[in-house]
Amino acid sequence: MSTVTNPRKKQTSFETNEVELKLTSVYVIPEIFIEFRKEAIGSPINFQKLVNRSLSLYNESKEFRDLILSHTKLVTKGKL
């Protein structure tokens, strides 16, 4: 069941049997995303699960948060 507060606005969230989901969009580095897709073939992980689990770990674990904040390998052109 979708949740829309204003019928003229685009749908921004989706309600499942368990939780309401927020629709977002992000830019990803294509090469890293392609490598993720290759690594994820045949596994139960998908991009949505990776993002949700990463957000949860970031919020709950200082060690994970510090690891993410110290990871600078991906900095190229633009803002990351």
Structural domain span for residue 51: 2-70
Residues 6+ apart with CB under 8 A from 4: 11, 12
Residue 75 maps to a domain: no
Residue 79 maps to a domain: no
Residue 14 maps to a domain: yes
Q: Report the chain's C-alpha Rg in angstroms.
A: 16
pLDDT, position 15: 58
Residue 20 maps to a domain: yes
Q: For residue 50, give the nearest of 42, 41, 40, 60 by alpha carbon.
A: 40
Residue 77 maps to a domain: no
**Residue 61 pLDDT > 50:** yes
Angle at which helices 47-60 and 30-40 cross, to 10°:
100
Residue 18 maps to a domain: yes
pLDDT, position 76: 61
- Total structural domains within the chain: 1
In tens, the pLDDT along 1-58 reads 444 454 454 555 655 567 888 999 999 999 999 999 999 999 999 999 999 999 999 9
